Amino acid sequence: MEKNILAFDLGASSGRAILGTYNGETLTIQEIHRFINEPVTLNGTMYWDVLRLFHEIKNSLIKAKKYGEIDSIGVDTWGVDFGLLDKNGKMLENPVHYRDRRTVGMIDESLQKIDHERFYNITGNQFMEINTAFQLLSLQKNRPEILERTASLLMMPDLFNYFLTGIKSNEYSIASTTQLMDANQRCWSRELLEKLDIPESIFQNIIETGTPIGPLCSEICEELDMKPAQVIAVAGHDTQCAMVATPALEDDFIFLSCGTWSLFGTELESPLINKKSEHYNLTNEGGYSNKASFLKNIIGLWLVQESRRQWIREGKEYDFTTLEGMAQTAKPFYTFIDPDATEFIPSGNIPGRMREFCKRTKQSLPFTEAEIVRCIHESLAFKYRLALEELKECTGKEYKNIYMLGGGVQSKLLCQFTANACNCDVTAGPIEATVYGNMAIQLMATGDIATLKAARKLIASSTPLTIYHPQDIDEWNEAFLRFQNIV
């Protein structure tokens, strides 16, 4: 009997409702609703437009009805962001977006309370100012009255699940992005919470990825004239949904989930936390079946997206296909940036900041759109190579293939550059890895798919894959030496 499953994937610029139909052998998907997901800045603070998003989720449920009864629902988005509820279960304010500036300086603030090595050994998380720990530390320092009124903290996917069901939960994969979870014990770290003066009482017990939360609440069913579909706590962190969809049949592989951010790593049975991983600032995130994703967070195609927005502000309307074509005409290895330099995280004039970076590092300045886009693609590919070498050193393993997933695989230029820079094959696809993973977790939760390997085999057969082989290896190796001097 066919099953209809609904995946909500909230990305950096848009949210989507994707309907999946599973007949026991194949999984087909179709987008039934797309809506804007852009932050709103008010009085100097950048917020999630959470009420509008939930309105669009309800619109999606209405549209889904015409395809038949929905059996289950799953929600995923990026990590680190959260909503705060009072004792009556009401939001205290709109959730704040991670690109807000409130966390500037909070890593240094935290290290006055707990040693860097101890902090890392507990969480196994890459230190990034956007992490939940530093957002909460900023609240504790600058707006303590908010935390005093907080009864519950829900990460963003947990918050939408709560809106849908009325049930509060903290799912494992999204909890692991907070830098407040004990990676080995898979629970909130009491030691960290005490040292950062964050109330332990606001957190729920962490539930495993793939846990059924409960049915769609009666209020929504009545409002939308729907039957109570089961809401599943899929991997709330979109990266871990994409990880489930990696079309790898081997045990040891590299995945690259590429979109606004690039998540470059491998899958392990347990967290890897040691001096080397701390030195390289590698992170351990929780995944399906309690696996650990050992990875590096790297700024991704945000740099191209934000550059395009700047050019539009200047009256130059380019689509991404045009920009990629222009980049192919630019001089190779003209100049490089470190994509993870702090000045590239906030929105704004990325091309201008790139020129300032190149000036500071005594390189040629990129002025044309072609030079800017080529510089971004080459720099990202070299950043992936750095991450690959760090992973190999930490795990002691060799990897023959990089599985590139997500929207970034639509950039043939980036796929080829990644193969060239890393000197290994790149298998690109599926584009909709996050959605496929979201749905596969729903199907495993309901017993329709038996194992993770079976899910990956199903997904690999449901979507086309493209393989890129390395080219011009000597030239890329020589250019990589130059790149290393500026990061």
How many whole angstroms separate alpha carbon 4 and alpha carbon 248? 26
* pTM higher than the cut 0.85: yes
Distance between the two ends of the chain, CA-based, in angstroms? Answer: 54
- Output the pLDDT for position 462: 86
Q: What is the C-alpha radius of gyration for the chain, rounded to an integer number of angstroms?
A: 22
- Output the pLDDT for position 404: 98
Asked if 254 and 198 count as a contact pair (C-beta separation under 8 A), the reply is no
Asked if 166 and 158 count as a contact pair (C-beta separation under 8 A), the reply is no
Cis peptide before 430 (omega within 30 of 0): yes
Of the pLDDT bands very low, low, confident and very high (cuts 50, 70, 90), residue 249 is: confident
When pLDDT is averaged across residues 375-386 and rounded to a whole number, the result is 98
Phi, psi of 152, deg, nearest 5: -145, 140
Q: Both tokens of residue 137?
A: 């530390």
- Output the pLDDT for position 150: 98
**Which residues have C-beta within 8 Å of that of residue 144, sequence separation ≥ 6?**
none
Output b/e per residue, 231-248; b: 16+ Cβ within 10 A: bbbbbbbbbbbbbbbbbb
pLDDT at 347 over 90: no
Give the Å distances, CA to CA, from 172 to 29, 97, 177, 290.
Answer: 26, 21, 9, 8
pLDDT at 215 over 90: yes
The β-bridge relationship of strands 466-468 and 3-10 is unpaired
Per residue in 89-101, pLDDT tens?
999 999 999 999 9
Phi, psi of 331, deg, nearest 5: -65, 130
DSSP bridge partners of 231: 73, 214
Of the pLDDT bands very low, low, confident and very high (cuts 50, 70, 90), residue 216 is: very high
The β-bridge relationship of strands 14-22 and 40-42 is unpaired
- Output the pLDDT for position 443: 98
Give 343: exposed, middle or buried? Use CB within 10 Å, 0-12, 13-18, 19+: middle
How many whole angstroms separate alpha carbon 162 and alpha carbon 70? 18
Per residue in 299-311, pLDDT tens?
999 999 999 999 9
pLDDT above 70 as % of the chain: 100
The β-bridge relationship of strands 292-299 and 401-405 is unpaired
Per residue in 163-204, pLDDT tens?
999 999 999 999 999 999 999 999 999 999 999 999 999 999
Per residue in 427-436, pLDDT tens?
999 999 999 9
Q: 214, 261, 267: which is closest to 238 by C-alpha?
A: 261
pLDDT at 452 over 90: yes
How many whole angstroms separate alpha carbon 36 and alpha carbon 12? 9
| Dihedral angle, C-alpha 450, 452, 455, 460, nearest 10 ° | -150
Per the annotation, the verdict on 238 as an active-site residue is yes
What is the residue-averaged pLDDT of the chain? 97
Of the pLDDT bands very low, low, confident and very high (cuts 50, 70, 90), residue 463 is: confident
Per residue in 253-268, pLDDT tens?
999 999 999 999 999 9
Domain with CATH 3.30.420.40 in the chain: 3-233, 246-429+450-487
- Output the pLDDT for position 13: 86
Per residue in 67-91, pLDDT tens?
999 999 999 999 999 999 999 999 9
CATH number of 246-429+450-487: 3.30.420.40
Asked if 376 and 305 count as a contact pair (C-beta separation under 8 A), the reply is no
Give 320: exposed, middle or buried? Use CB within 10 Å, 0-12, 13-18, 19+: middle
On whether the 3-233 domain is CATH 3.30.420.40, my answer is yes
> Which one is catalytic: 182, 238, 340, 448?
238
Per residue in 402-417, pLDDT tens?
999 999 999 999 999 9
